[in-house]
Chains A and B, each alone.
Chain A
Amino acid sequence: MTSRRLFLKSSALGMFGIGTAPAWLSRALYAADAPSPRKKILVAIFQRGAVDGLNMVVPFGEQNYYKLRPNLAIPKPDRTENSAIDLDGFFGLHPALAPLKPIYDAGHMAIVQAVGSPDPTRSHFDAQDYMESGTPGRKATSDGWLNRALVPEKDSSPVRAVSVGATLPRAMRGQNEAVAIANVNDFQVKDTRGAGTFESMYENSLDQVLNGAGRETFEAVKLMQSIQKQSYAPENGVEYPKSSLGQDLMQIARLIKSNVGLEVAFAEMRGWDTHVNEVGARPTQGQLANLLGQFGNALAAFYQDLGDKMADVSVVTMSEFGRTARENGSRGTDHGHANVMFAFGGGIRGGKVHGEWPGLEQEQLYEQRDLQLTTDFRDVLGELVVRHLGNSRVASVFPGYEQPKFRGIVAG
């Protein structure tokens, strides 16, 4: 049987010569013999620094929230931009997340409250590490959950796992090939005069290791070339925000739309560690509002740009832990425990805030200070891995957590 790669290289692309094959060709080739006609795609977004989930999705129905946060609490919904946006009569979105409300209303965005890692650490480093390895409490895990979520395959796309950025994040590392791409346009031999020579060296090399890797590399380069030739024009009138998350999500959208075999992608946003002056003159302004504005605008642009393609795409957001239920003395919050996650996409059972609400009474708080955990983050990710990506071997994706409790966020 001719492998997909060999076919790609030896016949079809050969007809057009290196680097001149039109985009539709590689698209058609991948579509024609891909194992399943429409592969599902999972995009994971990490909010590094621990976002304040209680101000992201506001429990305005709980009076304790207002007692604990006299300066920080987002006012109850009053249909102005200085109040929460009502979701279900109890929870509301931070007003800076208004661009996401239509997605929620369309039933394509699910929210999980009081979710996170059961490990008690309040160290950013350890908590991010555990969330990315998918093994809370275990440091020596060498690979990440998003890499393990892929089913090892022969002749898979060289760009089936892509993170946007200079280095591969922990969540993406592992035995399945995964690449870090800062920008689709950078994935090439930059001095074009050298490209052909390098390709010839690696193609002909008798060094088995480098020959194999070199072939893969130049296949990936060719796939990218077909994308690079066109400047990217987002659809549906979308203009991606200039923020780094906005630009990164645009790269991912570009890869998805060019059908090069992407299955999992990773992007991140930093700056959520709001110990001091989390809010400005009003609780709905200031640092957190600005960050959430960037976050919401970027996600909404991605969703609109992909349009019908969102049927095959799920996006999930996470952050290493939440922040203290009580505000601190400098108009900020400190490191806490449970947090909030978003999942959106065509296959998501949205329009709903999932998970049990543990309450904010003093005795309901974790260690008497933080939101209690009622959903393990692996329940959410595990459900996406099994029911969205179709990888049923969840025990090997989250070793030591054999039976995640699915919350019904993926429509079945």
Chain B
Amino acid sequence: MKKFALSIVLVAGTAAFSSETQFSQPLNKDQEILHALNRLTFGPRPGDVEAVRKMGVKKWIDLQLHPERIAENPELVQRLQPLDSLHMSAAEIATNYPPPQLIRAMMNRSLPLPADPDARERAEMQIQRLRAKQQDKGDDQAKADVQAKGGDPLQQAMRPQVLATIDPVERRKLVADRTPQQVLPYDLNEAKLYRAIYSNRQLEEQMADFWFNHFNVYLDKGADRILTSTYERDAIRPHVFGKFRDLLEATAESPAMLFYLDNWESVSPERAQERRFPKAKQARGLNENYARELMELHTLGVDGGYTQQDIIEVARCFTGWTISQPNRGGDFTYNDRVHDKGEKTVLGVKIPAGGGRDDAEKLLDILARHPSTARFISTKLAKKFVADDPPPALIERLAKTFHDTDGDIRAVMSAMLDSKEFFSEGAFRAKVKTPLELVVSAARATNAQVDFAIPLANQIAQLGEPLYKKIEPTGYSSANAEWVNSAALLARMNFALALTANRVPGSKVDAGTFENTFDNSASAVARQVLFHDPTQQTLDSIEKALAQKEPTPEMVAGLVLGSPDFQRR
């Protein structure tokens, strides 16, 4: 294997072939295993290569396409257990972890305190803090004094490096008491990372990441703070291998999306006038934001063949799709009183006057089955899983599968993973890891024991991909160019050295394993985390450093994780 892996890396680096030739050059068996693991998981763990070889790549892929047949890792189950907001309804989340505006309402007595004694106690503490803040004793000088003394001791205790040293159950209680506004983002970030690192259903996690990103919402936009947890759990995750139409429906009627893209405020101006709605809403009328992104980003794609008039017609179809009380975690509701009852024409199809909620349902049918959607979704999947510039012939086949199976996502993925293009030199190591993939793959490769994932999440944010915090509806790009820039590259190198030196709080890497391997050579340590041979350039650079007796074995591992070799998958 040694020789082969080496030569292939050189080919990928120099890229002399035309792309068509490259996408028809097959891989050998070892490469196939490595490629499947690199693409369909968040990076191989020790033992994965052997396990896939034993099972056979095809059978392993088939299993990954059917996650329900894979037993889940008890290490994951145990880590998810304390994160209680993951199991709550949005309304329960609003009650138990109220956002500032609800705390304000409780302070003004326009909202009762929570019934649950723990939640009540927390709310009372928050009200006290809010009162103190409003009396505003903290002038510039007082703050400077506190900083000069090394910071507020309470805040110091809440720093991730301190939290990482505390038992998970105690830690959670501390966070809920002291910084309750952090519970929801912490739970989301921790769950995402524990799943990515420890789940045996790796492809399902990759797909959940893909679809959340495709139907992006932003955690810090007002009520989305309390609506995002249920969005991921109930709208995205059940459908990641399902029918696209179902996924589209689930996102369209999710309070998180209705709030994020403002459709919940969109009303027919005429009907609002009749009903004498409050002034603010009268002034608003139709809001086109969701309609536009639904076609541009969720279904047809920007060149999918729709016009500005289509956007308006789509927005009219969606009037009345709203949320009962977004800030209290309310559910989707359809309000017929503000629905535009007129006739609409979308993409040349007439939707007759007098309709109601089903106007938008008809529209979603049209969009989900449109040829542009089949092509747009197929292209995006291929860009994520095959290469930045996937061959057109592959896209055509995937789009046909999408069309023939009425948008069956599992069937499209299956067709892609069965294609010669997927297992080709054109795809092999063609993708630069996203920050999420880099950090998680490093944790997996080093078999890190992660007991508090927030410091890892902070690293991912520093590399440019703050989780659940992509402001734009576009989601994050999977293109190589997006992730390769000076500051981010430097941050990758620093993260790699910090991880293996155990300087990332909450994650523990066993340096002993590198020492054992190191007895042989630096290249053995490199193979241990890369699962293939390092490039000659990487190896030479490390050996040069070794000649000066500088790096320790775990530092060699860190250097490999920060090398160009580990940035690709």
Residues of chain A whose beta carbon lies under 8 Å from any beta carbon of chain B? 120, 123, 125-126, 129, 139-140, 142, 158, 166-168, 170, 177-181, 187-191, 193-194, 196-198, 200-202, 204-211, 213-214, 216-217, 220-221, 241-243, 275-277, 280, 286-287, 290, 293-294, 297, 367-368
Max chain A CB contacts within 10 Å: which of B284, B498, B564?
Answer: B564
- The residues of A that contact B474 with a CB separation of less than 8 Å are 140, 142
* B461 close to chain A: CB less than 8 A: yes
* A197 and B551 contact, CB distance less than 8 A: yes
Q: Are B490's CB and A191's CB within 8 A?
A: no
7 nearest CB pairs, A to B: A206-B13, A200-B541, A179-B487, A204-B537, A210-B564, A125-B221, A217-B486
Query: What is the minimal beta-carbon distance from B467 to any residue of chain A, in angstroms?
Result: 12
Contact of B562 among A168, A194, A290 (CB under 8 A): A194
Provide the residues of chain A in CB contact with B562, threshold 8 Å: 194, 198
> Across the interface, do A290 and B140 meet the contact criterion of CB distance under 8 Å?
yes
Residue contact B296 to A140, C-beta cutoff 8 Å: yes
Indicate whether B333 reaches chain A with its CB closer than 8 angstroms: no
Residue of chain A at shortest CB distance from B542: A197
What is the chain A residue whose CB lies nearest that of B543? A197
Of the residues B284, B461, B486, B498, contact of A167 by C-beta under 8 Å: B461
1/0 contact string of B1-35 vs chain A (CB within 8 Å): 00000000010111100000000000000000000
Q: Is the CB of A191 within 8 A of B564?
A: no
Contact partner of A193 (CB less than 8 A), chosen from B222, B462, B480, B550, is: B550
Tell me which residues across on chain B come within 8 A of A209, comparing CB atoms: 432, 480-481, 484
Known A197-B559, A198-B562; contact A206-B293, beta-carbon cutoff 8 A: no
Taking the closest CB of chain B, its distance from the CB of A290, in whole angstroms, is 6
User: Does B408 reach chain A (CB closer than 8 Å)?
Assistant: no
Kindly provide the distance from the CB of B300 to the nearest chain A CB, expressed in whole angstroms. 13
Does B538 interact with chain A (Cβ within 8 Å)? Answer: yes
Known A-B contacts A202-B564, A206-B14; the reply to A180 vs B544 at CB < 8 A is no
CB nearest to A163 among chain B residues: B487
B487 touches A187 (CB 8 A): yes
Q: How far is the CB of A191 from chain B (nearest CB, A)?
A: 5
> Among residues 533 to 569 in chain B, which have CB atoms less than 8 Å away from a CB atom of chain A?
535, 537-538, 540-542, 544-545, 550-551, 555, 558-559, 562-564, 567-568
B471 to chain A, nearest CB (A): 6
A217 in complex: contacting residue of B144, B490, B501, CB < 8 Å: B490
Chain A residues positioned under 8 Å from B136 (CB to CB): 277, 280, 286-287, 290
- B residues in contact with A213, CB < 8 Å: 484-486, 489
Does B464 make an interface contact (CB < 8 A)?
Answer: yes
**Smallest beta-carbon distance A286→chain B, Å:** 6
Q: Is the CB of B134 within 8 A of A205?
A: no
B464 touches A276 (CB 8 A): no
Is B82 engaged at the interface, CB distance under 8 Å to the other chain? no
Interface set, chain B 248-297, CB cutoff 8 A to A:
261-262, 279-280, 283-284, 289, 292-293, 296-297
A to B CB contacts below 8 Å, 7 in the list: A140-B472, A178-B485, A191-B501, A198-B559, A201-B563, A220-B486, A276-B134
B104 within 8 A of A: yes
Question: Which one of A123, A140, A207 lies within 8 Å of B297 (CB-CB)?
Answer: A140
Q: Contacts A198-B559, A277-B134; is A211 near B486 (CB within 8 Å)?
A: no
- Min Cβ gap B535→A in Å is 7
Out of B135, B221, B542, B545, name the residue touching A123 (CB < 8 Å): B221
Determine the chain A residues whose CB is within 8 A of the CB of B462 once the complex forms.
Answer: 166-167
Which residues of the partner chain B approach A220 to less than 8 Å between Cβ atoms? Answer: 486
B461 x A210 contact (CB < 8 A)? no
Contact present for A126 and B292 (CB under 8 Å): no
Report chain B residues within 8 Å CB of A276: 104, 134
A contact residues around B542 at 8 Å (CB): 197, 201
Chain A CB within 10 A, most for which of B466, B471, B481, B555: B471
Asked whether A208 lies within 8 Å of B487 as measured between CB atoms, the reply is no
Residues of B at under 8 Å CB distance from A? Answer: 10, 12-15, 104, 134-136, 138-140, 143-144, 147, 218, 220-222, 261-262, 279-280, 283-284, 289, 292-293, 296-297, 302, 432, 461-462, 464, 466, 471-474, 480-481, 484-487, 489-490, 493-494, 497-498, 501, 535, 537-538, 540-542, 544-545, 550-551, 555, 558-559, 562-564, 567-568
Tell me, rounded to whole Å, the shortest Cβ–Cβ distance linking A71 to chain B: 14
How far is B15's CA from A277's CA once the two chains are assembled, in angstroms? 63
Taking the closest CB of chain B, its distance from the CB of A34, in whole angstroms, is: 19
Please name all residues of chain A whose beta carbon is closer than 8 Å to the beta carbon of B262 when the two chains form the complex: 123, 126
Q: Contact between A125 and B473 (Cβ–Cβ < 8 Å)?
A: no
In the complex, A22→B540 CA distance in Å?
A: 30
CB distance from B362 to the nearest CB of A (A): 25
Which residues of A sit under 8 angstroms from B104, Cβ to Cβ? Answer: 275-276
Q: How far is the CA of A370 from the CA of B550 in the complex (A)?
A: 65
Interface centre among A180, A209, A297, A367 (most CB of B within 10 A): A209
- Using Cβ atoms and an 8 Å threshold, which residues of chain A touch B551? 193-194, 197
**Bound: A85/B464 CA distance, A:** 43
Listed residue (B134, B261, B494, B501) with the most chain A CB atoms within 10 angstroms of its CB: B134
B292 & A140 in contact (Cβ 8 Å cutoff): yes
Instruction: Give chain B residues whose Cβ lies under 8 Å from the Cβ of A187.
Output: 487, 490
Q: A140-B473, A286-B136 are in contact. Are A205 and B537 (CB under 8 A)?
A: yes
What chain B residues lie within 8 Å of A207 (beta carbons)? 12-13, 564, 568
| Chain A contacts for B10, CB-based, 8 A | 206
Chain B residues whose C-beta falls within 8 Å of the C-beta of A191 in the assembled complex? 494, 497, 501, 555
Is there an interface contact between B493 and A194, defined as CB atoms closer than 8 Å?
yes
Assess A241 versus B13: contact at CB under 8 Å? Given A140-B473, A189-B494, A197-B541.
no
**Once the chains are docked, how many angstroms separate the CA of A290 from the CA of B133?**
13
- Give the chain B neighbours of A177 by CB distance below 8 A: 485-486
Instruction: Contact check, B140 vs A243: say whether CB atoms are below 8 A apart.
Output: yes
A242 touches B143 (CB 8 A): yes
**Chain A contacts for B143, CB-based, 8 A:** 242-243
Given contacts A123-B221, A206-B535, 6 further A-B pairs with CB under 8 A are: A125-B471, A129-B472, A140-B302, A188-B490, A194-B551, A200-B537
Say yes or no: A221 contacts B490, CB within 8 Å: yes
**Among A125, A166, A179, A287, which residue has its beta carbon within 8 angstroms of that of B485?**
A179
| Smallest Cβ-Cβ distance to A132: which chain B residue | B471
On whether the beta carbons of A166 and B564 are closer than 8 Å, the reply is: no
Q: How far is the CB of A208 from chain B (nearest CB, A)?
A: 7
> A208 to chain B: which residues have CB within 8 Å?
13-15
| The one of B139, B292, B558 that contacts A194, using a Cβ cutoff of 8 Å | B558
Most buried by A among B136, B292, B293: B136
Q: Which residues of A contact B293 (CB under 8 A)?
A: 139-140
Q: In the complex, which residues of chain A have a beta carbon less than 8 angstroms from the beta carbon of B497?
A: 189-191, 194
Which of B466, B481, B537 sits near A201, CB closer than 8 Å? B537
Give, as a whole number of angstroms, the nearest-CB distance from B212 to chain A.
18
Chain B residues within an 8 Å CB radius of A293: 140
- Separation of A38 and B147 alpha carbons in the complex (Å): 39
Task: Determine whether the beta carbon of A242 is less than 8 Å from that of B147.
Answer: yes
Chain A residue, CB-CB nearest to B534: A201
Q: Given the complex, which residues of A lie within 8 Å of B15, measured CB to CB?
A: 208
A242 and B472 contact, CB distance less than 8 A = no
Residues B484 and A210 in contact, CB atoms below 8 Å apart: yes
> In whole Å, how far is A181's beta carbon from the nearest beta carbon of chain B?
7
Of all chain B residues, which has the CB nearest A175? B481
Q: Which residues of A contact B538 (CB under 8 A)?
A: 201, 205
When the two chains form their complex, are residues B489 and A168 in contact, meaning their CB atoms are under 8 A apart? no
* B464: A residues at CB distance < 8 A: 167-168
Contact A142/B472 with A177-B485, A197-B541, A242-B144 known, Cβ cut-off 8 Å: yes
